[in-house]
Amino acid sequence: MDLQAILHDIDATLRPRLGQAGTVASYIPALARVSPHQFGIAVHTCDGREFAAGDAATPFSIQSVSKVFTLTMAMRHYGEALWERIGREPSGNPFNSLVQLEYEQGRPRNPFINAGAIAVADRLASRNPAPGGAKADILAFLVGEPVTYDEEVARSEAQTGFRNLAMANFMKSFGKLDHDVATVLDVYFHQCALALDCRQLARAAAFLAMDGAHPLGRSRAPVCTERQTRRINSLMLTCGTYDAAGDVAFLIGLPCKSGVGGGIIAVVPDTLALCVWSPALDATGNSLLGLQALELFVAKTGLSVF
- Site mask for a copy of itself (CB under 8 A), range 253-282, x = bound: x-x-------------x-------------
- Of the candidate spans 15-23, 116-124, 192-200, 237-245, the one that interacts with a copy of itself by CB under 8 A turns out to be 237-245
**Which residue among the candidates 64, 66, 156, 278 is catalytic per the annotation?**
64
Closest distance to a copy of itself from the beta carbon of 215 (Å): 18
Q: Is 176 noted as a catalytic residue in this protein? A: no
**Which residue among the candidates 156, 223, 242, 287 is catalytic per the annotation?**
242
- Site mask for a copy of itself (CB under 8 A), range 178-197, x = bound: ---x----------------
Binding residue for a copy of itself, selected from 15, 77, 155, 163, defined by CB under 8 A: 163
Give residues 49-88 in contact with a copy of itself (rule: CB under 8 A).
87-88
140-146 contacts at long range (C-beta below 8 A, 24 or more positions apart): 141/69, 141/72, 141/73, 142/69, 142/194, 142/196, 142/200, 142/204, 144/203, 144/216, 145/196, 145/200, 145/203, 145/204
Angle between helices 151-160 and 181-192 (to 10 degrees): 130
The reply to whether 91 sits near a copy of itself by the rule CB under 8 A is yes
- Of the candidate spans 35-43, 74-82, 94-102, 119-127, the one that interacts with a copy of itself by CB under 8 A turns out to be 94-102
The reply to whether 230 sits near a copy of itself by the rule CB under 8 A is yes
The reply to whether 98 sits near a copy of itself by the rule CB under 8 A is yes
- Provide DSSP, the chain: --HHHHHHHHHHHHGGGTTSS-EE--SSHHHHTS-S---EEEEEETTS-EEEEESTTS-EE-GGGHHHHHHHHHHHHHGGGGGGTS--S---S-TT-SHHHHHTTT--S-TTSHHHHHHHHHHHHHHS-STTHHHHHHHHHTTTS--EE-HHHHHHHHHH-HHHHHHHHHHHHTT--SS-HHHHHHHHHHHHTEEE-HHHHHHHHGGGGTTT--TT-TTSPPSS-HHHHHHHHHHHHHHTTGGGHHHHHHHT-S-EEE-TTSEEEEEETTTEEEEEE-SEE-TTSSBHHHHHHHHHHHHHH-----
- Of the candidate spans 3-11, 65-73, 214-222, 247-255, the one that interacts with a copy of itself by CB under 8 A turns out to be 247-255
The reply to whether 244 sits near a copy of itself by the rule CB under 8 A is yes
The reply to whether 100 sits near a copy of itself by the rule CB under 8 A is yes
- Of the candidate spans 33-41, 55-63, 68-76, 248-256, the one that interacts with a copy of itself by CB under 8 A turns out to be 248-256
Q: Is 99 noted as a catalytic residue in this protein? A: no
Q: Which is nearer to a copy of itself, 16 or 103 (CB)?
A: 103
The reply to whether 173 sits near a copy of itself by the rule CB under 8 A is yes
The reply to whether 235 sits near a copy of itself by the rule CB under 8 A is yes
Q: Catalytic positions, please?
A: 64, 67, 188, 242, 260
- Residues of this chain that bind a copy of itself (CB under 8 A): 87-93, 97-100, 102-103, 109-110, 162-163, 165-170, 172-173, 181, 230-231, 233-235, 237-239, 243-247, 249-250, 253, 255, 269, 304-306
